Structure 1
Amino acid sequence: MRTPAGTRRALPRVAVVAATLAASLLTVPGAALAATADGFASVDALGQNGTTGGAGGAVVTATTTARFLDYIARPEPLVVQVRGTITLPTGSSDGMHDVASDKTIVGLGSDARLVGGGLNIGLPVDDRTTSPPPDAVHNVIIRNLSITGATDDLVNVQMFSHHIWIDHNDFSNGDDGAVDIKRGSDFVTVSWNRFHDHDKTLLLGHDDDNGAQDVGRLRVTYHHNYFDGSDQRNPRVRFGEPVHVYNNYYRDNSYGVASAMNAGVVLEGNYFHSVNNPARVDFSGDLGRLVSRDNVLVECNHAIEVRGSVVEPRTYYPYTPHRAAEVPTVVPAGAGVGKV
C-alpha cells in the first residue's frame, strides 16, 4: 500500500455510518419529486431562483420513445416520469435528443433506463455568442435514471445552459462523454451518480481556445459521485472557477481531476483508491489552479498537484461535507439509482 507523503491514511470504516445512511436512504413515495438541489444548482442567479425543474407543471409518465421525446421537448414545465426502458433512436442527431427548459426527468423505481442515445441540454452551437442568450435552456433536473449505450454523450450541457441538477443516476458505456458541460454553461450540480464502464467521463470546458464563452462561467459542483473504474476525466476542467469537487469516491482510475487553462478547482474530502494520478494541474494547455484539503489517498502512484488560490465555494452556497474517511462507505451506499 503506497500512500504519498502529505496525505492522510484512511481511518477504519465505522459500521454506524452505514447503518445511519441506510436508514436515511429508504425510498419514500414522491421523494424524487420533492428533493431540493444543492451546490451551484441551488444558487439564485441569471434570473433563476435555484433549480426546480418541472415543479408546478403537470406530472406525466413516459413508457414509449415517442411519448418521452414529446414530453421533454414541450415548452411548458413538466415532471416527466420514466417507467421501464426507453430506447433513444440515433436518426439525424447522432442519438442526442434536446431537453427544453423547466423539466424534471425522473425514473420510477430502480429500473428506469434510457438506452442507445443521450440527452442534450442546450441550444445549437454558435461560436459567435459570447454571453447568455435570453432563450438559453435552464432549470432542468435529471434524476434516478440509468443512461447507457449512447452513440455520443450520455448527457451534454452546452451553450450557456444554466441551473441544471444531475443527481442519483447510473452512467455507463457511452461512446464519448458521460456528462459533458461546456460553452458557457453555469450553475450546475452533478451529485450522487455512479459512473462505471466508461472512459472519458466528465468534461468541463471543451476546448483550450474557448475562453470567450467560458471564462467567468462553468461553475459546477461535483459531490458524492462514485467513479467506479471510470478511467479518466473525473472531471477534466478548463477555465471554470470555482469548480467544487468534494466527497467523491474514486476507485481504479487512471486519473481523477485535471485542472487546466487557469481553471480553479477546490478538491476536498475525496477518497482516492488505486488512482494513478488523483489530481493534476500540469496536464495539457496552460496550467490550472487547485486547492486540496482533507483528501485521502490509498495505493495511489502520485500525490495531488496543487497550485495557486481559488475562490471558495462557500461564497456561493453553504455545505457540510462528510469526513473523507467516511466516503468509501457513504458514497457506494447512496450513489446511483433506486436511492431517492
Structure 2
Amino acid sequence: MTTLRSRRRIPAAALTIALAAALAMPAGAALATGAVPARPALAVAESSPTGFASVNALGQNGTTGGLGGPVVTVTNGTDLAYYAGRNTPYIIMVSGRIQISGMITVVANKSVLGVGSTAEITGGGLQLGSTTRPGNNVIIRNIRFTGASDDSISVTNKAHHVWIDHNDLSDGYDGLLDIKRESDYVTVSWNRFHDHSKTALLGHSDTYTADIGKLRVTYHHNFFDGTDQRHPRVRFAEPVHVYNNYYRGNALYGVASTMNAGVLVEGNYFRDVAHPIYVGYDKSGPGRVVERNNIYDNSGTPQTAGTVVEPRTYYSYPLDPAANVPAIVEAGAGVGRI
C-alpha cells in the first residue's frame, strides 16, 4: 500500500450558507454548522460545502456565493447573463428551461440555483470568470445541463472557492465539467453525469505548467453513470480528493492521474469498470495515486504509484463505507434532492 505525506494544516471554514429560503426548503431545514446529512434518504442536503470549497485560503473564508445579495428569479438567457455578470453579489434562481447559446460568464459572489426539479440550462453552459473578471466564490446547484455547445460548466481563469452541487449533466459537446487554468479550492459534490464521454477534466494541458500548485479539488458523492472517461482526468494538481463516488459502467476508465498529479481515491464503489484507476494516460506522463477502502465490483485492478498529500491536512470530512455508496449516491445525487 502506498503512503501519504502530510503538510502544514490550513484551517477549514465552518460557514453555514443561509440559502434555505432561496431554495424553498422547509423552515428549519438548513443544517447546523458541521452537521452531517442523514443517509441514505438525504431529506436535507448540505447547506455548506465539504472539501476544498470550505477551506479558508486566498482571502476567502469558505464558499458563500451570493449570500447577502438580492434574490432574483430568471426565466431566460438574457436575464441570466445580466445578473451572472453583475459586479455585486446575487442569488440567481433559475426557473424552468432556459435555452442559451455559447457560454455565459459568471463572475464573483454568485449563487446560481435551480428552482424545484425542472430548472435546466440547454444549448450552452456557464463559464466561471474571464481573464479580467474572476469567477471566485460561486455556487451552482440543482440545475440540469443538456446539449451544451462547448463545456456545460467551465471553472477557469484562476477562479477559486467554487461549489458545484446536486446538478445533472449530460450530452454536451466537449467536457461536462472542466476545471483548469490555475483554478483552486473547488468542491464537486452530489452530481449525476450521464450520456457523455469526456466528463470531468482537471488541468488544461500537458504544457500548461502554471497549474502546478493549484487545482485543489474535492469530488465526492457523484454518480458517474455510464460516462466513458475523465472522472476526473488530472494533470499537475495536488492533492485531488476523490471519495465516496459511484462509478457504473464507465467504458474507458474511472480516474486518471497524469503529469505528476497527486490523487487520493478512497471509499468509492466501482461497478463494471475495467480500468478503475490509471497512472498516466494517452500521451500524458504518469501521475501519483493512493487508493484505499474502495470496492471493485466486476472491475479491474487499479494502478497506484507514489505518495500524495493528505487532504485531511486541509479539511475534515465524513467518509461513508464504500459498500453503502451505490444506495447513498443513487438516492441523493442529481436535481430535486435539495
TM-score range, shorter chain: 0.7 to 0.9
In structure 2, stretches of 5+ residues that fail to align are 1-37
Q: Say if 1:37 and 1:52, in contact at 8 Å, map to a contact too.
A: no
The equivalent residue for 2:142 is 144
Work out whether 1:107 is the aligned partner of 2:114. Answer: yes
The equivalent residue for 1:63 is 75
Q: 1:25 aligns with which of 24, 35, 43?
A: 43
> 1:24 offset after TM fit, Å?
3.4
Distance in 1, matches of 2:126 and 2:215, equals 19
> 1:70 offset after TM fit, Å?
1.0
> 1:122 offset after TM fit, Å?
2.1
Any idea what SS the aligned residue of 1:24 has?
Answer: coil
Q: 1:210 corresponds to which letter in structure 2?
A: Y
What is the aligned-residue identity percentage? 56
Which has the larger share of helix? 1
After superposition, the CA RMSD in angstroms is: 1.3
> 1:148 offset after TM fit, Å?
0.7
Q: Deviations over 1:261-304 (max 9, x none)?
A: 0000000000000012100103232210000000000111x211
> 1:63 offset after TM fit, Å?
1.3
Distance in 2, matches of 1:240 and 1:116, equals 30
The residue correspondences of 1:1-340 to structure 2 (distance < 5 A) are 21=39, 23-25=41-43, 35-89=47-101, 95-124=102-131, 136-211=134-209, 213-253=210-250, 254-283=252-281, 284-300=283-299, 302-340=300-338
Q: How has the CA–CA distance of structure 1 residues 23 and 287 changed in structure 2, closer, same or farther, with 3 Å as cutoff? A: closer
TM-score scaled to structure 1, two decimals? 0.86
> 1:163 offset after TM fit, Å?
0.4
Any idea what SS the aligned residue of 1:265 has?
Answer: strand
TM-score scaled to structure 2, two decimals? 0.86
Q: Deviations over 1:3-42 (max 9, x none)?
A: xxxxxxxxxxxxxxxxx6354325xxxx7xx811220000
The equivalent residue for 2:16 is none
Any idea what SS the aligned residue of 1:21 has?
Answer: coil
In structure 1, stretches of 5+ residues that fail to align are 1-19, 90-94, 125-132
Q: Say if 1:233 and 1:258, in contact at 8 Å, map to a contact too.
A: yes
